[in-house]
Structure 1
Amino acid sequence: MIVVDASVLANMLLYADERGRRARAVLGRDIEWAAPEHWKAEVFSVVRGLTLGSKIKEEQAVRAVERLPLLGVDHVSIDELLPRMLQLRAGISGYDAAYVALAEARGIPLVTSDGRLARTATSYCGVEFVSPGA
């Protein structure tokens, strides 16, 4: 099992290019995924922003949003993670702290395409960085 964050899921869902292929390859190695309960809203926010910024086509956004409920991600309540999230507040955003706290609590790696999160999280849990760039 792995903890998947919104950045890698968005890349998997939205892109047919190298960043999408890399995300799908890494995520395909472990089919059991967990994420804090806010993950769908966070992926949706990425899709929304890219659509509003004309970075992706409307069809890509619709397809990604339709697939979100079908991904089979284990939704983990943040209730049990909140104390650790508070401890992590100095160096990690509130949303990202939930992913880190979950990976740390379960002793499983965090998979992300967010370089800043990957660098920060390595102090707390195993991290697999899936580069979105060339």
Structure 2
Amino acid sequence: MIVVDASVFAFSLLDEGTTGERCRSALAADDRWIAPQHWTIEVMSVIRGNLLGGKITAGHAADAVEALCGLDPIVPATRVLLPRVWELRGNLTAYDAAYVAAAEAYGCPLLTTDGRMARASGIRCAVEVVG
């Protein structure tokens, strides 16, 4: 079981290079995923940004949205994570802290492409950086 942050999902859906391949491999290695409730909106925002920025075609974006709709991680109740998210407020954004809080609550590693999360002080979970 792994907590997967939005960056890993986004790269797996959008990136056809090395990072995307590594993210897809990491997701395939453990199919029991956990992600906080806001993960889909974060990924949708990345898809939108890539489309508007001209990095992907409308067809690629549509395919990514369709694939996004098929992803089904375990989603913990946000209210359970909030106390820990608040404790981490000095070190992480609330969005990132929710992933850390979920990993801590489930006792499993957090998978991300964001090295800053791995270096944040005060976290009590393993962080695996894909990239």
State the alpha-carbon separation in 2 of the partners of residues 61 and 121 from structure 1.
36
Aligned residues: 131
Q: Is the 8 A contact 2:117 2:127 kept in 1?
A: no
Look up the match of 1:19: 19
Look up the match of 2:79: 79
Percent sequence identity is 50
**Offset of 1:18 from its aligned partner?**
1.1
State the alpha-carbon separation in 1 of the partners of residues 71 and 15 from structure 2.
16
Look up the match of 2:114: 114
**Offset of 1:68 from its aligned partner?**
1.2
Look up the match of 1:30: 30
Amino acid at match of 1:109: P
State how 1:97-112 maps to structure 2 within 5 Å: 97-112=97-112
Amino acid at match of 1:118: A
State the alpha-carbon separation in 2 of the partners of residues 5 and 122 from structure 1.
18
Q: Secondary structure at the match of 1:91?
A: coil
Amino acid at match of 2:63: R
Moved more, 29-38 or 119-128: 119-128
Q: Unaligned 5+ residue runs, structure 2?
A: none
Q: Unaligned 5+ residue runs, structure 1?
A: none
State the alpha-carbon separation in 2 of the partners of residues 42 and 78 from structure 1.
15
Look up the match of 1:127: 127
Amino acid at match of 1:97: A
State the alpha-carbon separation in 2 of the partners of residues 60 and 99 from structure 1.
27
**Offset of 1:121 from its aligned partner?**
6.8
Look up the match of 2:7: 7
RMSD over equivalenced CA pairs, Å: 1.3
Moved more, 45-54 or 83-92: 45-54
State the alpha-carbon separation in 2 of the partners of residues 122 and 12 from structure 1.
28
Amino acid at match of 1:85: V
Amino acid at match of 2:55: K
What CA deviation, in whole Å up to 9, does each residue of 1:29-83 have, x standing for no partner?
1010010011100100111111111122211211111111211211222110001
TM-score relative to the length of structure 1:
0.92
Moved more, 95-104 or 47-56: 47-56
